[in-house]
Amino acid sequence: MVEFGSQQMTNEADNISIVRRQYELVSAGRIEDAAALFSDPTRNHGREVPRRAVLAILQDIKTTFPDWSFTIQDIVAQGHTVAARCRFRGTHEGTGQLPVNGGLMIGVSPTHKQMDVQHIHWYVVKEGLIAEHWASRDDIAMMQQLGLLPETKFDLSKLAAPPPR
């Protein structure tokens, strides 16, 4: 049920604030505080996990990309649901140990290269905490920018070229 009264708008604004705060804390390196914004347990990609697992995931990403940050490009809410499109940036300075980032960074030696890719995160916020989370990331572009996959070479100007006569 969608309500247009002030209470529904306030709840949506509050839910957006919680998600924004989580990104601010992550970007500031305060991952313990960011993890505290998740319920215990929470659901991550449909699986129930304890908050300590969320913290372990965030720690692994911070180990792999110590200077990581998220910049929100767009954020919307409807009821308890918040969706955020953001930029995930960082320099690959550590070796991942957990199956995060698609599991692609496990055991990969640091490339010392920077990456900047798009993420879309979907949250459900209940009682002031993030109760559910899903993400869709551009892992291929991340791997290409880190030099771990070849770049896709394609001349887009060919698409706009007039047909031959």
pLDDT given at position 18: 98
Lowest mean pLDDT among 9-13, 108-112, 121-125: 9-13
pLDDT tens by residue, 97-109: 999 888 899 999 9
Q: Give CA torsion, residues 91, 94, 95, 96, to 10 deg.
A: -70
Token reading at 47: 């699986």
Asked if 39 and 130 count as a contact pair (C-beta separation under 8 A), the reply is: yes
What's the predicted TM-score (pTM) here?
0.86
Domain extents in the chain: 6-153
Mean pLDDT of 140-157: 90
Give the model's pLDDT for residue 93. Answer: 98
Supply the pLDDT for residue 5. 47
d(CA 69, CA 51): 21
- Write the CATH number of the domain with boundaries 6-153: 3.10.450.50
